[in-house]
């Protein structure tokens, strides 16, 4: 008998040891359900795990959501707007540009404090931040936008003057990009190996638990006023169904939605949840890689372009999709009208002229195994099947897909891109010859289209509005006539929030696939 009791005791002991997690660092040990009810904790769900915490190397949406409330930028878009007209002062109170567009002078706010006592915000921080973005060693994702910067002057601690080599129409929106960081904080973190991003924003970084959550706590002396929320918890939940359940239970206040209209309809019926759709659409297109022999044939590209019934697909997606207007995001300034008319007879005619009277089997297209990619790709595959064009699909995980695309081995690619502000930025990365994949200066030109290179180079340094718009028109026309990209939808990402949440601004669109969290955001 003794033996059996001993074994039971042993297992019980294990459980006690296992559960009383020695590493749990958070304060309250008493097992109350959650913190004192009055303490306002906003709980946000994101469907990916953050890997990088350096604001200049952000890639997944969870990283964007965590950094947004922590950092400020020199200038910024009015909350939830992506219209260049709405750009206002951020850490810089005011700014002017010289007539030739080469010198930009910024007047900085005074008395702004860094988190955790890293001192007052000064012009030196701005200089360090911008030079860090431009540093090739770091490999920042937005280094490309600052290639025109010549030198940065800091005459006194509250003024910054940036000199450009050449005028850059997109520089205003570029300045709204990078977060201003503190040199000493970054060095301390590197030494300690700890994850502790330091910024000037409304919320300070408190804790990060891998695969679980990140916790931000309010920055009492934030220069735009003390935030209403006590804490913000960002939960990493890779399964959308789990997020949906948590939203219905009230365990989570905000989360991403699903692109499926039937699902959204069902959720909108739920009386204590509000459904929003971000106006800035993600531009989804089928990019044909003209460095691959079969796609050098213009007629084949034409046949493909006219075989896809975009209206039907957009209709089936109802409120989460709009018809693409141009060859790039419609919210971009310079996205002039350009679309391919759905006409099966024309498609069959071009197919015959392309030399494939009884159909063709296209080379295999690899896509990542994400729902957002799969839906569109399967739709295109099905549409092409009707005209006898067979497009075999292969689904792999994200990392393998990225490598395939970068090494220019994917004969055709469907991908969704967000873009805003000046059209020259997407043109530069997507339709400029030297940016073609597989080359040393590659950025994201999947189609190896290069017919508009001269025009793009002119647009890059044209600050006269009239001339710039005229250049944009010509570029769009060239891309459209080349039939290299076939847009099929502009997806608008749905977001869901509990009615208890008061955003503090009216929601229009978002660049981080989640609601912005500001000092005005509150929990009723």
**Residues 449-508 interacting with other proteins (rule: CB under 8 A):** none
d(CA 47, CA 322): 24
CA distances from 102 to 165, 176, 424 (A): 7, 17, 18
Q: Segment near other proteins (CB under 8 A), from 68-76, 240-248, 347-355, 456-464?
A: 240-248
Q: Indicate which single residue of 239, 293, 466, 524 sits in contact with other proteins (rule: CB under 8 A).
A: 239
d(CA 106, CA 180): 14
Compose the 12-31 pattern: x for residues touching other proteins by CB under 8 A, - for all others.
Answer: --xxx-xxxxxxx-x-xxxx
CB of 92 to other proteins, least distance (A): 25
CB of 398 to other proteins, least distance (A): 6
CA distances from 165 to 98, 171, 429 (A): 13, 12, 20
Q: Indicate which single residue of 121, 283, 287, 313 sits in contact with other proteins (rule: CB under 8 A).
A: 313
Q: Indicate which single residue of 78, 312, 361, 467 sits in contact with other proteins (rule: CB under 8 A).
A: 312
Residue number, 186 or 292, with CB nearest to other proteins: 186
Compose the 409-448 pattern: x for residues touching other proteins by CB under 8 A, - for all others.
Answer: --------x-----------x----------xxxxx----
Contact present, 57 and 135 (Cβ < 8 Å):
no
Q: Indicate which single residue of 61, 105, 122, 142 sits in contact with other proteins (rule: CB under 8 A).
A: 142
Residue number, 250 or 357, with CB nearest to other proteins: 250
CB of 337 to other proteins, least distance (A): 25
Residue number, 121 or 313, with CB nearest to other proteins: 313
CB of 130 to other proteins, least distance (A): 17
Q: Is 240 in the site for other proteins (CB under 8 A)?
A: yes
Provide the pairing of β-strand 231-236 with 41-46. Answer: parallel
For residue 172, count other CB atoms closer than 10 A to its CB.
Answer: 17
CB of 473 to other proteins, least distance (A): 26
**Residues 154-193 interacting with other proteins (rule: CB under 8 A):** 190, 193
CB of 180 to other proteins, least distance (A): 21
Q: Segment near other proteins (CB under 8 A), from 87-95, 209-217, 345-353, 448-456?
A: 209-217
CB of 124 to other proteins, least distance (A): 25
Cα angle 13-31-7, degrees, rounded to a multiple of 5 = 10
Query: Look-up: residue for tokens 């200089």?
Result: 127
Residue number, 14 or 319, with CB nearest to other proteins: 14
CB of 307 to other proteins, least distance (A): 15
**Which of left, alpha, beta for 388 (phi over 0: left; psi -120 to 50: alpha)?**
left
Q: How many CA atoms lie less than 13 Å away from 78 in the CB half-sphere?
A: 10
CB of 121 to other proteins, least distance (A): 26
CA distances from 115 to 35, 176, 521 (A): 24, 21, 20
Cα angle 75-492-269, degrees, rounded to a multiple of 5 = 120
CB of 523 to other proteins, least distance (A): 18
Residue number, 246 or 292, with CB nearest to other proteins: 246
Query: What is the SS3 assignment for 514?
Result: coil
Q: Is 400 in the site for other proteins (CB under 8 A)?
A: yes
Query: What is the SS3 assignment for 512?
Result: coil
Contact present, 73 and 91 (Cβ < 8 Å):
yes
Sign of CA dihedral 78, 80, 86, 91: positive
Going by C-alpha positions, the residue among 118, 115, 105 that lies closest to residue 75 is: 105
Q: Is 251 in the site for other proteins (CB under 8 A)?
A: yes
Residue number, 166 or 238, with CB nearest to other proteins: 238
| Residue spans of beta strands (DSSP E) within 132-238 | 149-156, 159-164, 203-209, 213-218, 231-236
Q: Segment near other proteins (CB under 8 A), from 78-86, 150-158, 167-175, 397-405?
A: 397-405
CB of 439 to other proteins, least distance (A): 8
Give DSSP secondary structure letters for 95-110: EEE-TTS-EEEEEEPS
Query: Look-up: residue for tokens 């304060």?
Result: 27
Residue number, 274 or 429, with CB nearest to other proteins: 429
Element (H, E) at 350: helix 344-353
Sign of CA dihedral 317, 503, 203, 135: positive
**Residues 24-63 interacting with other proteins (rule: CB under 8 A):** 24, 26, 28-31, 33, 49-53, 57, 59
CB of 157 to other proteins, least distance (A): 31
d(CA 517, CA 230): 12
Q: Is 394 in the site for other proteins (CB under 8 A)?
A: yes
Query: What is the SS3 assignment for 361?
Result: strand
Spell out a b/e string for 43-79, using b for 16 or more CB atoms within 10 Å of the CB, else e.
Answer: bbbbbbebeebbbbebebbbbbbbbbbbbbbbbbbeb
Distant-in-sequence, close-in-space partners of 11: CB < 8 Å, separation ≥ 6: none
Residue number, 27 or 111, with CB nearest to other proteins: 27
Residue number, 161 or 246, with CB nearest to other proteins: 246
Compose the 256-285 pattern: x for residues touching other proteins by CB under 8 A, - for all others.
Answer: --x-x-xx--x-------------------
Residue number, 108 or 185, with CB nearest to other proteins: 185
Q: Is 131 in the site for other proteins (CB under 8 A)?
A: no
């Amino acid at each position: 008998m003794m033996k059996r009791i001993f074994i039971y005791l042993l297992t019980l002991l294990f459980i006690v040891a296992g559960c009383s997690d020695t590493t749990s660092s958070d304060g309250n040990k008493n097992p109350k359900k959650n913190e004192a009810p009055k303490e306002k904790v906003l709980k946000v769900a994101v469907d990916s795990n953050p890997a990088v915490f350096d604001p200049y190397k952000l890639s997944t949406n969870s990283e964007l959501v965590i950094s947004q409330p922590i950092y400020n930028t020199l200038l910024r878009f009015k909350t939830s707007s992506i219209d260049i007209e709405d750009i206002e002062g951020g850490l810089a109170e005011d700014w002017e540009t010289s007539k030739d567009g080469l010198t930009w002078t910024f007047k900085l706010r005074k008395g702004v404090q860094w988190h955790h006592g890293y001192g007052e915000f000064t012009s030196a921080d701005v200089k360090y931040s911008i030079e860090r973005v431009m540093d090739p060693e770091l490999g920042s994702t937005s280094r490309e936008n600052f290639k025109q910067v010549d030198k940065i002057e800091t005459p006194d601690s509250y003024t910054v003057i940036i000199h450009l080599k050449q005028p850059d129409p997109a520089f205003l929106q570029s300045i709204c990009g990078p977060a201003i960081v503190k040199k000493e904080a970054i060095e301390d973190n590197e030494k300690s190996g700890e994850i502790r991003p330091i910024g000037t924003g409304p919320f300070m970084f408190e804790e990060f638990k891998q695969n679980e959550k990140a916790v931000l706590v309010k920055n009492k002396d934030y220069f735009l006023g003390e935030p209403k929320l006590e804490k913000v918890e960002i939960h990493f939940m890779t399964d959308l169904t789990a997020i949906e359940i948590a939203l219905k239970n009230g365990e989570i206040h905000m989360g991403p939605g699903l692109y499926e209209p039937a699902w959204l309809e069902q959720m909108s019926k739920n009386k204590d949840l509000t459904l929003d759709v971000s106006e800035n659409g993600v531009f989804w297109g089928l990019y044909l890689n003209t460095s691959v022999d079969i796609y050098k044939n213009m007629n084949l590209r034409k046949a493909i372009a006219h075989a896809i019934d975009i209206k039907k697909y957009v209709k089936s997606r109802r409120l989460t999709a709009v018809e693409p207007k141009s060859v790039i995001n419609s919210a971009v300034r310079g996205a002039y009208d350009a679309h391919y008319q759905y006409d099966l007879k024309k498609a069959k005619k071009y197919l015959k002229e392309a030399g494939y009277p009884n159909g063709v089997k296209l080379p295999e297209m690899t896509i990542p195994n994400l729902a957002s990619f799969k839906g569109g790709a399967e739709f295109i595959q099905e549409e092409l099947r009707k005209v006898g064009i067979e497009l075999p699909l292969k689904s792999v995980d994200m990392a393998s897909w990225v490598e395939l695309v970068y090494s220019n081995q994917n004969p055709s690619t469907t991908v969704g891109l967000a873009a805003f502000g000046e059209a020259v930025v997407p043109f530069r990365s997507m339709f400029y010859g030297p940016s073609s994949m597989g080359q040393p200066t590659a950025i994201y030109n999947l189609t190896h289209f290069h017919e508009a290179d001269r025009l793009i180079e002119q647009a890059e340094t044209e600050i006269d509005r009239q001339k710039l718009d005229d250049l944009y028109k010509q570029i769009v026309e060239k891309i459209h006539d080349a039939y290299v990209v076939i847009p099929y939808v502009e997806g608008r990402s749905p977001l869901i929030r509990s009615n208890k949440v008061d955003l503090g601004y009216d929601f229009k669109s978002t660049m981080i696939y989640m609601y912005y969290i500001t000092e005005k955001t509150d929990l009723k």
